[in-house]
Structure 1
Amino acid sequence: MAAELLPTAYFNETQFRNGRNWPNYCPKPRASSNFSLKASQEPLDDDKSKFYKELGMFSLRKRIEDSVLRAEMLAPTALEFEEGKHVDQEGVVRNYDLWDDLTKSNEVLAKLADSAKVVDTLRDLTYKAEEAKLITELAEMDAITYELFKQAYTASLDVNKFLDKYEMSKLLKEPYDMEGACIIIESRWGDTLSERWALQLAQMYMKWAERQGYAGRIVERYHSSNGELKCASIELEFKFAYGYLSGERGVHSLIRCSDSTSALPKASLASVDVIPLFINSSADLPIEDEDIQVSYPSYCEGNPQMSRVSSAVHIHHIPTGVEVQSTGERSRFANKIKALNRLKAKLLVLLRDHGVSGVGSIKRGAATDRWSRETRKYVLHPTKMVHDLRSGAQFPNVSPVLNGNLDPIIAAHISSRQSSTAV
């Protein structure tokens, strides 16, 4: 999803946005400067300055031109398709009695609004690409300023970012891919390092949501007696969140290899479950009252502050053994509604995964063995690597991933899912 990184001799995005490594840039001295500060402030001679300026301008111009070319190839076709889709949606609204079924009306109007938003964004993207192209042409005549070139570079980043999302959204066609997502993270209980690892994973998903321009909500959080994280639930209320993150389900292991060759690697484990979060609609699955067992825990283990009065609701689905709970709402009634919605969402995913049409066809215990399926390894020492076992993709640096840069992993998973479907 993110464009491939340039060679290290070129500018990276952060350096460019901050003006660093620009030929005329000179860092300000700090009070705690070390012996190398003086050398770093010495200006380059004219030949070197000219060389680095030409090299930097060439690399940036190449990235801008690549983005413009991509927009010229994809945007017109995409805009034509989305405009036609929007016209069809307008026809549906004109021919539909909005007062006849308010629920259906809201769904129709939401689709119309989404369609209009995509059309507007594609038009804006086309304008940005044309603007960036004009600036690069002026750059060949040395007729632009640094600020103009920075504007073109920023526009090219926006173009690539939107086209990445647009192309990926067209690949997310499975049921519930367009829904929001509820992420449930659980550490291996009794292991302090695993509990800390679960917290890192929760922060990783929150940072990923922030990168997408949205805010995730931690709606539930359970701490162990030593204050570490045992379990957390995060709700992401934006379109395609489930489609992006469905590949995160399974066990995530953080591996710390010892310097000693005789010592075994130490692994911290945490399980991740992802279920659809229905935002504009509700999960359509009838559940019989006699098939569920509802309990109201009076306390939460390791949470003394909740031991007096608790509104927590726990639901056990007897035919399948699936268990869900909700504690984030203020009343038992609200928690019961949310727990039932989570149960329906989990059962719908099981129906899809097992290719069956009825809940009675789901084998008991199908969703309870969550610790037997490893999804991803994060290796910290001696080599640093993230290995996604679902897609087979490997990435050489752990830090960007833990800082929320999941886009390459998500893209690899969606591509592998499309490949397996095609086969």
Structure 2
Amino acid sequence: MTVKRVKEIVSKLSSLREFLDIPGKEKELERLNQKILREYEERSGYAPGEKEGVKILIKIQRLKEMLSAFSDLEKEVKDLIELTEIVGEDSPELEGEIKKIEKRINDLELKSLLQEEDDAKNCLLTIHPGAGGLESCDWANMLLRMYLKFIEKKGFSYKVLNIRPNEGAGIKEATIEIIGENAYGYFKSETGVHRLVRISPFDANARRHTSFASVFVLPEIPEVEIKIDEKDLKIETFRASGHGGQHVNKVATAVRITHIPTGITASSQEERSQYLNKMNALKILRARLYNYYQEEEKKRLKKYEEKKTDIAWGHQIRSYVLFPYRLVKDHRTNYETHKVEEVLDGEIEEFILAYLKNQLAKGEKSDGGDRKD
């Protein structure tokens, strides 16, 4: 049996290599490194523009981490094969190594699916109960507990930003900030309506009840900080315009500044000093850039807010049935399990993995909230 599992691991690793396109990623890493070097040389020692350069460096870092993780896995599998030949099938040490490598393969596969721009960010998760009073409020609280358990298992941390307890039991609303690498990537699949079917503990007649709660997940948008790099600026001077006569400035004291990455300009000619006009122009430019970046963030935010309006009661993404049978089923992927208690205790990673694979197979950008009615 152990030899069979080792062979399965070797097969999984081979499939993962193909799935990750390791040769392709090695070529991509080389291409990006060359691009950074080329632009560095073209700018006479300056790195690429801040926004573009940061994106490239992030891509390079992610590629390096993935290639390194896969290389380590290959070495561990090779060592596992050698260990199998030495200790035989019944070794507890071998069993421990098999479980460890199986987990690492699954973790790397999941991480490879989290490549969208926002996936690496922290996130905000909000839960609202549907109609149904006490029963739905209790269901919302059960979902909150499930997510907190998953957060603990993944080694994330969280902050409760808002919670409104319901009189009797449950919650009327809760919003938490989830902090950790790829937090949004993990939780974006949870956006939608979650349905619970059970015998209500609040019904004296022990009747079956169906309850709903909506979950909405949003990537955390960092505060906009305006940092203007001198090398991103084109600074021009010109003579200030006037009505003629003795007050016409005969030297170039007026200043026009262009922010090259965005094309935004600002100018000042009110002061008699070129330095003061430059300071005024920078002040104007900073304000215009702040507004520009705020508007860009609003556009990004709107994309996720539109998902929220798509959530309609009854169009659930996942059902949790405790009676008359026991089953948790995701209606977008058809992934299901009878291990209801484990799921409610935070074992939701298989649902997340199924969702991400499904989105990849459909060729869509998985930004949460998609559902199959």
Per the normalisation by structure 1, the TM-score is 0.57
How far did residue 156 of structure 1 move? Answer: 2.3
Report the Cα distance in structure 2 between the residues aligned to 1:81 and 1:92, rounded to whole angstroms.
16
How far did residue 243 of structure 1 move? Answer: 4.4
1:68-217 matched pairs, under 5 angstroms: 68-75=10-17, 78-94=21-37, 95-96=39-40, 101-140=49-88, 146-147=92-93, 149-166=94-111, 168-169=113-114, 176=118, 179-188=121-130, 191-217=133-159
How far did residue 400 of structure 1 move? Answer: 1.6
Does the CA-based 8 Å contact 2:130-2:313 persist in structure 1? Answer: no
Report the Cα distance in structure 2 between the residues aligned to 1:188 and 1:83, rounded to whole angstroms.
48
Report the Cα distance in structure 1 between the residues aligned to 2:158 and 2:55, rounded to whole angstroms.
23
Change in CA separation of 1:220 and 1:87 when aligned onto 2, cut-off 3 Å: farther
How far did residue 258 of structure 1 move? Answer: 7.1
SS in 2 for 1:201: helix
SS in 2 for 1:267: strand
How far did residue 240 of structure 1 move? Answer: 4.7
Could you give the per-residue CA deviations for residues 301-343 of structure 1, whole angstroms, max 9, x where no partner exists? Answer: xxxxxxxxxxxxxxxxxxxxxxxxxxxxxxxxxxxxxx99996
How far did residue 185 of structure 1 move? Answer: 0.7
| One of 301, 304, 307 as aligned partner of 1:349 | 304
SS in 2 for 1:271: strand
Report the Cα distance in structure 2 between the residues aligned to 1:152 and 1:69, rounded to whole angstroms.
16
SS in 2 for 1:411: helix
Does the CA-based 8 Å contact 1:257-1:381 persist in structure 2? Answer: yes
How far did residue 199 of structure 1 move? Answer: 1.9
Residue in 1 that maps onto 2:230: none
Could you give the per-residue CA deviations for residues 123-170 of structure 1, whole angstroms, max 9, x where no partner exists? Answer: 111111111111122244x7x8533x144224422442234325534x
SS in 2 for 1:84: helix
SS in 2 for 1:275: strand
How far did residue 193 of structure 1 move? Answer: 2.9
Report the Cα distance in structure 2 between the residues aligned to 1:416 and 1:70, rounded to whole angstroms.
19
Report the Cα distance in structure 1 between the residues aligned to 2:298 and 2:25, rounded to whole angstroms.
35
Does the CA-based 8 Å contact 1:275-1:345 persist in structure 2? Answer: no
| One of 175, 190, 213 as aligned partner of 1:270 | 213
Change in CA separation of 1:72 and 1:374 when aligned onto 2, cut-off 3 Å: closer
SS in 2 for 1:405: coil
Does the CA-based 8 Å contact 1:131-1:152 persist in structure 2? Answer: no
Does the CA-based 8 Å contact 2:137-2:172 persist in structure 1? Answer: yes
1:389-408 matched pairs, under 5 angstroms: 389-408=331-350
Report the Cα distance in structure 2 between the residues aligned to 1:343 and 1:187, rounded to whole angstroms.
27
Residue in 2 that maps onto 1:63: 5
Change in CA separation of 1:117 and 1:81 when aligned onto 2, cut-off 3 Å: same
- Segments of structure 1 that go 5 or more residues without pairing to the other structure are 1-57, 283-338, 354-365
Change in CA separation of 1:406 and 1:192 when aligned onto 2, cut-off 3 Å: same
Residue in 2 that maps onto 1:373: 315
Residue in 1 that maps onto 2:245: none
Could you give the per-residue CA deviations for residues 383-403 of structure 1, whole angstroms, max 9, x where no partner exists? Answer: 111122223333212112112
Does the CA-based 8 Å contact 1:179-1:279 persist in structure 2? Answer: no
SS in 2 for 1:371: coil
Among all aligned residue pairs of Structure 1 and Structure 2, give the percentage whose two residues are the same amino acid. 22
Residue in 1 that maps onto 2:277: none
- Segments of structure 2 that go 5 or more residues without pairing to the other structure are 226-293, 365-373
Change in CA separation of 1:100 and 1:131 when aligned onto 2, cut-off 3 Å: closer
SS in 2 for 1:274: strand
Does the CA-based 8 Å contact 1:128-1:159 persist in structure 2? Answer: no
The one-letter code sitting in structure 2 at the alignment partner of 1:256 is: R
Q: CA-atom RMSD, angstroms?
A: 3.8
The one-letter code sitting in structure 2 at the alignment partner of 1:349 is: Y
Residue in 2 that maps onto 1:223: 165
SS in 1 for 2:313: helix
Report the Cα distance in structure 1 between the residues aligned to 2:206 and 2:92, rounded to whole angstroms.
54
SS in 2 for 1:382: coil
Per the normalisation by structure 2, the TM-score is 0.63
Report the Cα distance in structure 2 between the residues aligned to 1:146 and 1:409, rounded to whole angstroms.
30
Report the Cα distance in structure 2 between the residues aligned to 1:162 and 1:197, rounded to whole angstroms.
30
Report the Cα distance in structure 2 between the residues aligned to 1:131 and 1:383, rounded to whole angstroms.
44
SS in 2 for 1:272: strand
Does the CA-based 8 Å contact 1:252-1:269 persist in structure 2? Answer: yes
How far did residue 233 of structure 1 move? Answer: 1.7
| Number of equivalenced pairs | 288
SS in 1 for 2:309: coil
Change in CA separation of 1:64 and 1:166 when aligned onto 2, cut-off 3 Å: farther
Change in CA separation of 1:88 and 1:220 when aligned onto 2, cut-off 3 Å: farther
